[in-house]
Structure 1
Amino acid sequence: MLALCFIGAITYASVQLVNQYRSDIYREEMARGTFYLMAEGYQRYKPEERGRWSQVLTQLFGAPISLQDSESLNLGYREALHLSEGLVVMRLNDAEGFADILFQLPDEDTFIVTRMTKVSEQQARATAVLILNHLSHFPEQEWEGALANLQQYFGYDLVMVDRDTVDLDAEQEQRLNRREVVIALDDSTRSDSSIRIYAPVAQTGKLLVIGPLSLFDQFPMELLLVAGVLSLLAVALATYLQVSPLQRRLKQLDRAVSRLGSGDLGAYANIEGSDAIGQVAATFNGMTAHIRRLIESQREMTRAVSHELRTPVARLRFGLEMLADIESAELRREKLNALDHDIEQLDQLIDEILTYARLEQGTPNIEFKPVQVMELCEQLRDELETIRGETTISVECDSPMLEVEAEERYLHRVLQNLVTNALRYAGSSIVMRIEDEDSRVVIHVDDNGPGIPEHERERVFKPFARLDKSRHRASGGYGLGLSIVKRIVDWHGGEIRVEESPEGGARFTVTLPATQQGQHVLGRVN
Structure 2
Amino acid sequence: MNSIFLRLYGGLLLALCFIGAITYAAVQLVNSYRSDIYREEMARGTFYLMAEGYQRYEPGERDRWSQVLSKLFNADIQLQSAAELDLGYRETLHLEDGLVVMRLNEQKGYADILFQLPGEPEYITTRMTKVSEQQARATAVLVLNHLSLFPEDEWELALGRLQQHFGYPLSLVSRDHVPLDPEQEQRLNRREVVIGLDDSTRSDSSIRIYAPVADTGKLLVIGPLSLFDQFPIELLLVAGILSLLAVALATYLQVSPLQRRLKQLDQAVSQLGSGDLGAYANIEGNDAIGQVAATFNGMTAHIRRLIESQREMTRAVSHELRTPVARLRFGLEMLADIESAELRREKLNALDHDIEQLDQLIDEILTYARLEQGTPNIEFKPVLLGELCEQLREELETIRGDTVITVDCDQPTLEVEAEERYLHRVLQNLVTNALRYAGSQIVMVVDGDEDQVIIHVDDNGPGIPEHERERVFKPFARLDKSRHRASGGYGLGLSIVKRIVDWHGGDIRVDESPMGGARFTIILPRSQQGQHVLGRVN
SS in 2 for 1:405: strand
Give per-residue Cα distances to partners, 1:47-82, cap 9 Å, x unaligned: xxxxxxxxxxx9999599xxxxxxxxxxxxxxxxxx
1:405 touches 1:515 (CA, 8 Å); kept in 2?
yes
| TM-superposed deviation, 1:417 | 0.3
TM-score by length of 1: 0.60
Structure 1 residue 324, shift from structure 2 partner:
1.6
Written as runs of structure 1 = structure 2, the 5 A alignment for 1:327-338 is: 327-338=339-350
Alignment map for 1:456-467 (pairs within 5 Å) = 456-467=468-479
Contact 2:384–2:416 under 8 Å retained in 1:
yes
Q: Aligned equivalents of 1:251 and 1:131: distance in 2? A: 81
1:442 is paired with a residue whose SS is strand
1:306 corresponds to 2:318:
yes
> Does the CA contact (< 8 Å) of 1:287 and 1:522 recur in 2?
no
Structure 2 SS opposite 1:386: coil
Alignment pair present for 1:290 and 2:336: no
Query: Which of 160, 165, 168 in structure 2 is aligned with 1:98?
Result: 168
**Pairwise CA RMSD:** 4.4
Q: 2:359 is matched with which residue?
A: 347
Does the CA contact (< 8 Å) of 2:503 and 2:534 recur in 1? no
- Correspondent of 2:273 among 256, 261, 283: 261
Alignment of 1:304-453 (within 5 A): 304-453=316-465
Letter in 2 for 1:436: G
Summarize the Cα distance change of 1:216–1:254 in structure 2 as closer, same or farther, 3 Å threshold.
farther
Q: Relative to structure 1, is the Cα distance of residues 61 and 369 closer, same or farther in structure 2, using a 3 angstrom cutoff?
A: closer
Out of 515, 520, 525, the position equivalent to 1:513 is 525
Label 1:469 to 1:112 Cα distance change in 2 as closer, same or farther (>3 A). Answer: farther
Counterpart residue number, 1:454: 466
Give the residue type in structure 1 aligned to 2:478.
Answer: R
What are the superposed Cα offsets for residues 19-42 of structure 1, whole Å, 9 maximum, x if unpaired?
A: xxxxxxxxxxxxxxxxxxxxxxxx
Distance change (3 Å), C-alpha of 1:516 and 1:128:
farther
The number of residues matched between the two structures is 369
CA contact 1:289–1:524 (8 Å) conserved in 2: no
Distance 2:165 2:381 in 1: 71
Is 1:155 matched with 2:155? no
> Which whole-Å deviations, capped at 9, do the CAs of 1:244-264 have from their partners, x for residues lacking one?
453343233223222222223
Distance 2:201 2:336 in 1: 128
Report the Cα offset of residue 341 of structure 1: 0.8
Contact between 1:286 and 1:522, CA under 8 Å: does it hold in 2?
no
Given that 1:289 and 1:523 are in contact with CA atoms closer than 8 Å, whether structure 2 keeps it comes out as no
SS of the aligned residue for 2:322 comes to helix
TM-superposition CA deviations, 1:282-328 (whole Å, max 9, x none): 33233222211211111011000000001111111111111122111
User: 2:482, 2:459 → 1: CA distance?
Assistant: 20
Amino acid at match of 2:520: F
Distance of 1:132 and 1:478 partners within structure 2: 124
CA contact (8 A) 1:395 1:431 kept: yes
Which of 482, 507, 512 is residue 495 of structure 1 equivalent to? 507
Q: Which AA in structure 1 matches 2:311?
A: R
Q: Secondary structure at the match of 1:98?
A: coil
Counterpart-to-counterpart distance in 1, 2:320 and 2:420 = 31
Distance in 2, matches of 1:321 and 1:478, equals 26
Map of 1:116 onto structure 2: none
> For 1:207-237, what per-residue CA distance to the aligned partner results, in whole angstroms no more than 9, with x for missing partners?
xxxxxxxx87745564233211111123224
**Paired residue secondary structure (1:320):** helix
Deviation at 1:520, TM superposition (A): 2.2
Identify which range, 279-288 or 382-391, moves more after superposition: 279-288
Q: What secondary structure is seen at the aligned counterpart in 2 of 1:385?
A: coil
User: TM-score under structure 2 normalisation?
Assistant: 0.59
d(CA) in 2 for partners of 1:335, 1:100 = 130
State the AA in 2 paired with 1:252. Answer: Q
Distance 1:268 1:492 in 2: 27
The Cα shift of 1:445 comes to 0.7
Partner in structure 2 of residue 195 of structure 1: none
Q: Distance in 1 between matches of 2:347 and 2:140?
A: 135
Code of the aligned partner of 1:369:
K
Q: Which runs of 5+ in 2 are unaligned?
A: 1-10, 28-135, 144-162, 188-198, 203-226
Structure 1 residues 131, 429: closer, same or farther in 2, change over 3 A?
farther
